[in-house]
C-alpha cells in the first residue's frame, strides 16, 4: 500500500505535509517540540491534556534493522554513549529479537532503514509483520522512539520507520520523541536525534554506572576503528578485466591489500569505497557554468576551493531529485518547473542524468557557494566482497563493472566504477570500510545446501561463499544459478567455478546467457525449468540466496512463486506465505541494488 494511502487511512496529514513537518521540526529540541504541540493545539481551539510522563525504567532496548550496516553503526554509537552515561541499555539486531518480547519491554528505541519500494530490511521483516498483524497485542506499557534511514529520491522515503512509528502508537505505545527520517547524508540528523534521545533517557532511565550492560555481538574495536567516516587505506594489487574485449560490459576483478588486524570481513559483507570524481568532469561543470575553480566554498566542516570540492566532496554522477528541484527554482525553466511537481517523473529524470546533463540543458548563472549548496555530499559506493579471509587473509577482492554509456549528447562514466577502473593505479591507496550484511550470511551448519542465484556482478559473494566452505571443510551441497549476456564473453569467474566443480564443492550449475540464443533467457527461466529440483532442495533445508539488480530480484521472486504454485500446487497467497516463512527462518536471503 502506498504511503499516501496509509496516510489517508490513518491521518488527515498527507505525505507532502508530513515531510514538511519533519523538516520544520528537525532542528527543535524535545522541549521546543512540546511547546509547539501546545501552540498548535491552541490554534485548533481544543485543549490537549498533557500526557503523563512514563515511570522510570531499569533497562532500555535499542533495536536496529540494517541492510548495509548504517543503522547498526548509528545504533552502536548511541548505545556506547548511553552506556557512558551509566544508562543500562541492550543493543541488538531486530533479527535477533523475538517479536513477542515487545509485550514485556518498557522502553525501546527503533533504528531501521528502508529499501526498494518501502520495504523493511530482511532483519526487520519478522518484527514488522508481527506489529502489523491484525492480532498484534496492545502495547500500553511501552514507550518508544523511532529513527529511519532512507533516500528521499525514492517515493516511499523512510516508510519502514513511519510504519513502525504509526503502528506502535496505534497499539497504545507512548511516543517519547517524534519519528526522525534521515536522508543519505544522515550524520547531522542522526546526531541530533541521538542527542535528544540521550536527553530523554536521562529522565526515563536513571543512570546506574555500576551496573551497565555490554553490547551483545559488538566487535572489539581497538583504536583506530575503521568505519565509514574513518576508512582504511587499502592498496590496489590487481586490476584485471574478466570479460572479453568485445563484451558489452567491462568487468574488472580487483584485489586490495589489507591488514587483517585492522580490517576483517565475513562472506556476504560489502566493501564501502570512498572515491574521487573525475577531474575532467569537474572541469566540464566549471566550464559550463563559467565558474572559477579556486572560488572558496564552505562545506560542513571545511572551506576549500570549488574544484577540489567538486572532485572530493560533492556528488556529480548520481543526480538527486532535490538538486533538480533546486535547479528548477534557480533557472525558472518551464520544463524543470513542471517536472518538479511530478515526483515520479522527477525521479525518472534524475536517474537518467548526471549533473553535467542538467546544467548543460538548462544553463544559468550561479555563484560557487550556491552550486555547492544544492549538491548532495559525495557518498561511498558498496561492492560485494568476492573473497573469503579464510583463503585470502590479507586481501579483499571486488567485482566491478565499469559503467560507461553515451547519453544526452555526451559520454558518461560511473563515479566509483570509473575511479576504480580508470584512475586508480597499481599500489595506489583506496579508502575502504566494511559494510556488514548480517542478512546475507552463510548458515552456521556447514551441511546445509545452498542455492546461489546471481546475474552479472551479483555472482561476486558466491565466490566468497565457496572459498569459505572449502576452508571450513563444509560438506553441504551447492547449486549455482548464474546469468549474463554471452557465454564466451561474460562468464564471470568461469575458471573458479570449474575448479570448485572439479573439487566436488559445486554440485550443480544452471546457466542463462540472454544474448546467445534466439530468445532472451534469464536466471528466472533457468529456475522455472528446474522447479521440481529446486523444491527438492528446499525440502532438504536449502538456503536461497539472490544477488544482483533489483529488477532481477523481483523476476526471481516471481519465478519462485510460480514454482510453488505450479510444482507444489499452492494457491498464490499460500505461495507468498511460504516465501515469507523462508525469509523469517533466515533461509531466503536477498542482496539487491539499483
Q: What's the CATH code of the domain at 317?
A: 1.20.990.10
My answer on whether 17 and 55 are in the same domain is yes
My answer on whether 359 and 242 are in the same domain is no
Q: Does a structural domain hold residue 219?
A: no
My answer on whether 553 and 461 are in the same domain is yes
CA pair distance 126, 365, nearest whole angstrom: 51
The phi, psi pair for 495, rounded to 5°, reads -65, -35
Q: Nearest Cα to 58, choosing from 90, 30, 81, 103?
A: 90
Q: What is the model's pLDDT at position 117? A: 72
Contacts of 530 (CB under 8 A, 6+ apart): 510
Q: Does a structural domain hold residue 226?
A: no
Full domain range(s) for residue 311:
279-374
My answer on whether 60 and 81 are in the same domain is yes
Q: What is the model's pLDDT at position 187? A: 87
H-state helical runs in 221-340: 279-289, 306-312, 321-331, 334-339
My answer on whether 153 and 187 are in the same domain is yes
CA pair distance 173, 61, nearest whole angstrom: 15
Q: Does a structural domain hold residue 218?
A: no
My answer on whether 420 and 502 are in the same domain is no
**Mean pLDDT over the full length of the chain:** 89
CA pair distance 588, 565, nearest whole angstrom: 18
Local confidence band at 213 (pLDDT 50, 70, 90 cut-offs): very low
My answer on whether 430 and 464 are in the same domain is no
Q: What is the model's pLDDT at position 444? A: 95
166 by DSSP, 3-state: which? Answer: helix
Q: Does a structural domain hold residue 225?
A: no
CA pair distance 304, 147, nearest whole angstrom: 32
Q: What is the model's pLDDT at position 223? A: 47
Q: Which residue has the cell 559520454?
A: 411
Q: What is the model's pLDDT at position 53? A: 61
Q: What's the CATH code of the domain at 27?
A: 3.40.50.360
Q: What is the model's pLDDT at position 151? A: 87
C-alpha cell at 112: 531501521
230 by DSSP, 3-state: which? Answer: strand
CA pair distance 173, 107, nearest whole angstrom: 10
Does 506 score more than 80 pLDDT? yes
- Its pTM stands at 0.83
My answer on whether 331 and 261 are in the same domain is no
My answer on whether 328 and 400 are in the same domain is no
Q: What is the model's pLDDT at position 9? A: 35
Does 95 score more than 80 pLDDT? yes
Residues in the chain: 594
Torsion, Cα 434 437 443 448, to 10 degrees, reads -100
My answer on whether 98 and 136 are in the same domain is yes
- The string of pLDDT tens digits covering residues 313-347 is 999 999 999 999 999 999 999 999 999 899 889 99
**Domain count across the chain:** 4
Q: Does a structural domain hold residue 140?
A: yes
Q: What is the model's pLDDT at position 161? A: 96
Q: Does a structural domain hold residue 223?
A: no
My answer on whether 578 and 506 are in the same domain is yes
Q: What's the CATH code of the domain at 456?
A: 3.40.50.80
CA 63, 69, 74, 76 dihedral sign is positive
Does 218 score more than 50 pLDDT? no
Q: What's the CATH code of the domain at 418?
A: 2.40.30.10
My answer on whether 184 and 307 are in the same domain is no
Q: Does a structural domain hold residue 209?
A: no
Provide the pairing of β-strand 450-455 with 478-484: parallel
The phi, psi pair for 190, rounded to 5°, reads -70, -35
Q: Does a structural domain hold residue 562?
A: yes
Q: What is the model's pLDDT at position 48? A: 37
Amino acid at each position: 500500500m502506498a504511503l499516501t494511502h496509509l496516510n489517508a487511512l490513518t491521518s488527515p496529514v498527507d505525505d507532502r505535509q508530513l515531510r514538511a513537518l519533519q523538516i520544520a521540526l528537525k532542528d527543535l529540541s524535545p522541549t521546543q517540540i512540546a511547546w509547539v504541540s501546545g501552540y498548535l493545539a491552541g490554534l485548533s481551539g481544543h485543549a490537549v491534556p498533557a500526557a503523563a510522563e512514563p515511570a522510570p525504567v531499569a533497562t532500555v532496548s535499542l533495536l536496529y534493522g540494517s541492510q548495509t550496516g548504517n543503522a547498526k553503526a548509528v545504533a552502536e554509537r548511541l548505545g556506547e554513549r548511553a552506556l557512558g552515561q551509566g544508562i543500562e541499555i541492550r543493543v541488538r539486531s531486530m533479527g535477533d529479537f523475538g517479536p513477542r518480547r515487545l509485550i514485556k519491554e518498557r522502553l525501546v528505541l527503533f533504528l531501521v532503514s528502508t529499501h526498494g519500494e518501502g520495504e523493511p530490511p530482511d532483519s526487520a521483516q519478522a518484527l514488522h509483520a508481527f506489529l502489523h498483524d491484525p492480532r498484534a497485542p496492545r502495547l500500553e506499557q511501552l514507550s518508544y522512539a523511532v529513527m529511519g534511514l532512507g533516500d528521499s529520491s525514492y517515493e516511499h522515503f523512510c516508510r519502514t520507520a513511519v510504519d513502525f512509528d504509526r503502528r506502535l502508537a496505534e497499539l497504545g505505545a507512548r511516543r517519547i520523541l517524534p519519528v526522525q527520517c534521515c536522508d543519505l547524508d544522515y550524520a547531522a540528523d542522526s546526531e541530533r536525534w541521538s542527542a535528544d534521545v540521550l536527553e530523554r533517557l536521562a529522565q526515563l532511565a536513571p543512570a546506574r554506572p555500576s551496573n551497565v550492560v555490554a553490547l551483545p555481538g559488538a566487535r572489539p574495536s581497538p583504536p583506530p576503528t575503521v568505519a565509514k567516516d574513518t576508512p582504511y587505506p587499502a592498496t590496489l594489487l590487481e586490476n584485471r578485466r574478466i570479460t572479453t574485449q568485445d563484451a558489452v560490459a567491462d568487468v574488472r576483478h580487483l584485489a586490495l591489500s589489507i591488514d587483517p588486524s585492522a580490517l576483517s570481513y565475513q562472506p556476504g559483507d560489502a566493501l564501502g569505497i570512498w572515491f574521487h570524481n573525475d577531474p575532467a568532469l569537474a572541469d566540464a561543470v566549471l566550464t559550463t557554468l563559467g565558474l572559477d575553480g579556486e572560488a572558496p566554498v564552505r562545506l560542513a566542516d571545511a572551506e576549500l576551493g570549488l574544484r577540489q570540492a567538486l572532485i572530493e566532496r560533492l556528488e556529480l554522477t548520481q543526480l538527486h531529485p532535490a538538486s533538480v528541484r533546486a535547479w528548477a527554482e534557480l533557472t525558472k525553466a518551464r520544463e524543470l518547473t513542471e517536472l518538479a511537481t511530478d515526483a515520479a517523473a522527477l525521479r525518472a529524470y534524475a536517474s537518467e542524468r548526471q549533473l553535467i546533463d542538467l546544467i548543460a540543458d538548462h544553463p544559468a548563472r550561479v555563484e560557487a557557494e550556491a552550486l555547492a549548496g544544492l549538491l548532495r555530499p559525495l557518498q561511498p559506493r558498496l561492492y560485494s566482497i568476492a573473497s573469503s579471509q579464510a583463503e585470502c587473509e590479507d586481501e579483499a577482492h571486488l567485482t566491478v563493472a565499469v559503467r560507461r554509456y553515451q547519453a544526452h549528447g555526451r559520454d558518461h562514466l560511473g563515479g566509483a566504477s570509473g575511479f576504480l577502473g580508470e584512475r586508480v593505479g597499481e599500489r595506489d591507496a583506496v579508502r575502504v570500510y566494511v559494510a556488514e550484511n548480517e542478512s546475507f550470511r552463510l548458515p552456521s551448519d556447514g551441511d546445509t545446501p545452498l542455492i546461489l542465484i546471481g546475474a552479472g556482478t551479483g555472482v561476486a559473494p558466491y565466490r566468497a561463499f565457496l572459498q569459505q566452505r572449502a576452508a571450513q571443510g563444509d560438506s553441504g551441497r551447492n547449486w549455482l544459478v548464474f546469468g549474463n549476456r554471452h557465454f564466451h564473453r561474460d562468464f564471470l569467474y568461469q575458471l573458479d567455478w570449474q575448479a570448485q566443480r572439479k573439487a566436488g564443492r559445486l554440485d550443480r550449475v544452471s546457466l542463462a546467457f540472454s544474448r546467445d540464443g534466439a530468445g532472451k533467457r534469464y536466471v528466472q527461466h533457468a529456475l522455472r525449468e528446474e522447479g521440481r529440483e529446486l523444491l527438492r532442495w528446499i525440502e532438504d533445508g536449502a538456503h536461497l540466496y539472490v544477488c544482483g539488480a533489483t529488477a532481477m530480484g523481483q523476476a526471481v521472486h516471481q519465478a519462485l512463486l510460480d514454482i510453488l504454485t505450479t510444482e507444489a500446487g499452492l494457491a498464490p497467497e499460500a505461495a507468498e506465505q511460504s516465501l515469507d516463512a523462508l525469509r523469517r527462518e533466515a533461509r531466503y536471503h536477498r542482496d539487491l541494488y539499483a
